[in-house]
Amino acid sequence: MTPPPHPRDDGREDVTSPVRSRRSWAWRVATPLVGLLSGALFVVSAHSSEGTDLRPGRFTDLASMVQYDANNVEALKQRAADLREQVSRLSSSVDNRQVRKYNRQATSMKAPAGLSPVSGTGVTVTLSDAPQSTGQETPDTVDNPNLLLVHQQDIQAVVNAMWKGGATAVVLQGQRVVTTTGIKCEGNSVVIQGVPYPEPYVIEGVGDVGDLTSAIADDSYLQLYREQSEDPAIRVGWDLDIKDEITAPAYDGLLDLSYATPITPSATPSASAGPS
């Protein structure tokens, strides 16, 4: 049987005491639970991030974003190099005639693929943006401001001319250029094999100096570029040096290629119904 309500000092019955008691008990239980859940979320976030930024989109300046991507590229390149070394070590430990045959074939292809360092005479071409003040003119008064900047096609033209001149190796910003090397503009920098570089851009070619310089001089695109470098209204940077010794490092980037694959068409619906 439920006991009667307790009388209050004002003479009226107190009917809220049990409700208040239940609410107070609920708050005492809920408060520590919320604290425990919040702490658990912090621990899970710290474990998932593994020391990285879970919100890379928070970067508000281009320099920080470029540096973040460059660090990721370097980490991936190092991981790829470690895995290649592991594969090479495991392959050499297998005493199998067929494996030895394929290893010899792979070794013979390293030099043509750019996987071995090359040294010799050559030329160095340095491209740079026009200075802030071009003498008679300023960048603000030039009809086409793009002429004051080095673009990816300018760099590619030098690289192609070196290949045409019989270069045995080409190096761009210290990186070995191979058949899969990509050069593209991104903002005010050029991205080479996933790494952004500011100007000036240094292109080195190992080979016969006479053949290399002739190929560069005969290239029609580079002839126009050199004319613009001598134009006092433009003065985009151009410098060619002959070197007695250039060392081209071995390519250390990713070797595998990824291709788009067609989507398998889904089965056509049954044409059981006649034409409408």
129-154 confidence digits (pLDDT tens): 998 754 444 445 567 888 899 999 99
With a cut of 70, say whether residue 56 has pLDDT above it. Answer: no
Distance CA 267, CA 94 (A): 46
**Is the confidence at residue 248, as pLDDT, over 50?**
yes
> Which range is least confidently modeled, 25-29, 68-72, 177-181, 227-231?
25-29
CA distance 165 to 218: 10
Do 81 and 204 touch, CB atoms closer than 8 A? no
Which CB contacts under 8 angstroms, 24+ apart, belong to 106-114? Answer: 110/250, 113/178, 113/179, 113/251, 114/169, 114/176, 114/177, 114/178, 114/250, 114/251
H or E element in which residue 245 lies: strand 237-248
How high is the mean pLDDT of the chain?
A: 79
- Scored b (16 or more CB within 10 A) or e, 89-104 reads eeeeeeeeeeeeeeee
Q: Which of 43-47, 56-60, 230-234, 237-241 has the lowest mean pLDDT?
A: 56-60
User: Smallest Cα–Cα separation from 118: which of 273, 247, 254?
Assistant: 247
Q: What is the pLDDT of residues 58-100, one digit of tens each?
A: 556 666 776 777 778 778 878 877 887 887 787 777 777 887 7
* Per-residue confidence band for 51, with pLDDT thresholds at 50, 70 and 90: low
Could you tell me the pTM of the whole model? Answer: 0.60
Residue 267, pLDDT score: 52
Task: Look up residue 149 and give its two tokens.
Answer: 């900047």
Structure tokens given for 57: 């989109």
Render pLDDT for 184-202 as a digit per residue (tens, 0 to 9).
888 778 888 778 888 999 9
